[in-house]
Amino acid sequence: MSEIDPRAIISPSARLGKCVKVAACAVVGDGVELGDGCILEPHAVVKGPSKFGRNNHFHSFSIVGGDPQDYTFTGQPVRLEVGDANEFREFCTVHRGTLKGDGTTRIGSHNLIMAYAHIGHDCNIGDYVTLINGSQLAGHSQVEDYATLSSFVLVHQFTRIGRYSYIGAGTIITQDVPPFSLIVSSRDTHCYGINRVGLERRGFSPERIKAVEKAFRYLLRSKLNTSQALEKMRGTLADSEDVSTLIRFIESTTERGLTK
């Protein structure tokens, strides 16, 4: 049975699943669909049109599903679609899509969006992604599964963040980030190697990690250019699915280039 505080504000057009909890002064706006077990803490705001799966948790003062910050938006029926079991912490913001994208911002499942983090319009977020406090995604960004963005990471619009990558605090990302990589801004933003600690925490075996490390040695520390490094990976690491993932990502890198 749902628990709705009488001081909450819920639109007549909103649809709530089973066992939803909405605390005092929380707002559920027009066109919002909340799946079973969702929780809104006091003063959390969810706007629509938007659709959420089960067991999403909206902490106080989070604003999820707001209008896109884009001059071309004039009230079009754009959306936000969210999976299951995401945590939206205090003061984070998530915006719906625009017609310049496909009209929809998408977030998968089991993501942790920490305080003051921002997900802009038309972004596409995978599963088990962590946006640490103050990290900011500009519009049309893509973040693949298990990626971690540390505090105050800034991501340029249309940039892709590869799976299992880790971006250190304060880093400004203007080019695609390869899967499995560790990216930190010291003087210049470049790739320092693989995200070994993160991969170990996600259950990667020593053999998988060794293969990815070898691929990154070809990419970063040899005298090979990127095309030559890819050929070397194909010739010596063809049996590694992780390396194949890396190769596919690099080959589809956008015009913004690759962080190396």
139 has catalytic annotation: yes
122 has catalytic annotation: yes
- DSSP lists the bridge partners of residue 198 as none
Tokens of 14: 């909103």
85: region left, alpha or beta (phi > 0 left; psi from -120 to 50 alpha): left
- Which one is catalytic: 134, 139, 162, 198? 139
- Which one is catalytic: 59, 95, 118, 121? 121
Spatial separation of the C-alpha atoms in residues 33 and 47, rounded to whole Å: 10
Place of tokens 């913001």: 93
Spatial separation of the C-alpha atoms in residues 113 and 85, rounded to whole Å: 11
Buried b (16+ CB within 10 A) or exposed e, 136-171: bbbbbbbbbbbbbbbbbbbbbeebbbbbbbbbbeeb
- Which one is catalytic: 122, 145, 176, 242? 122
Active site residues: 121-122, 139
